Amino acid sequence: MDSDSDLELSPETLKALQQVMQEQQEQQERFETLRQQAEERFDEAQDSHENNNTQNKPAITMDFFREDWQLSQFWYDDATSEKLAREILNNTDQQSIVCCISSPTAYVKLMSMSPPNPNNLFLFEYDTRFDVYGRQFIHYDYSKPLEFRLADELKGSVDMIVVDPPFLSEECLTKTLQTVRMLLKKGGKVVLCTGAVMLEIAKADGLQLTTFHPGHQNGLSNDFRCFVNYKSEQFPYSQDS
């Protein structure tokens, strides 16, 4: 048996494989460029004390990131990410510190809307593809809710948090809310997006059910809801709670 001929790829298969490898290489190079731009933008803002400089701003969209179902990733639809980003902008100012925890879709949308101080906006996320945001990316593992970069600096200083725990389980939500309590300053605002089945845990942490139903690009079979700990014009309290 000629093993070499058995393993030889057809010209069509080889061409397709080469194309996939080229696309992966191009994506990796694009991510690296975005990382460098994010670092440069941060350094320029630190040197000049100006945070509204849009030059060399990384043009990042969710089109760069495919859902990884093994990480329980289900991206919001455009309307939902727009509403969440708008809610943040409506409730914060240039001095506010904001964290999006396991909610990259909302964060990417927020950063695309020219926020007044992007260096005060942080993304807590397990997926390291999002480190294209440089210092604003904080690698986060919900199973270690109090262990992450900048933990001491951010403790008790965050004005607003948007959080969407990656897994629909009591353990995941409970541990993620430990992170929220650690970060949040007194009087800080929280927007929690999770399954309706987590109602009692959310209520126990001072969060109330709203009328808003977050949507997802590819649909989701679970009844997904939004909870807040403050009165929101955009997300009013639900009578069902």
Asked if pLDDT for residue 150 goes beyond 50, the answer is yes
Sign of CA dihedral 100, 106, 108, 114: negative
Q: HSE, CB side, 13 Å, CA atoms: give it for residue 221.
A: 1
Strand residues in the chain grouped as ranges (E): 98-101, 121-125, 137-139, 158-163, 184-195, 208-209, 224-228
Average pLDDT along the chain: 83
pLDDT given at position 61: 75
Q: First vs last Cα of the chain: how many Å apart? A: 71
Instruction: Place 46 in a pLDDT band, splitting at 50, 70 and 90.
Output: very low
Mean pLDDT to the nearest integer, 21-33: 56
Asked if pLDDT for residue 35 goes beyond 60, the answer is no
Instruction: Place 65 in a pLDDT band, splitting at 50, 70 and 90.
Output: low
- Angle, helices 78-90 vs 104-111, to 10°: value is 70
pLDDT given at position 3: 45
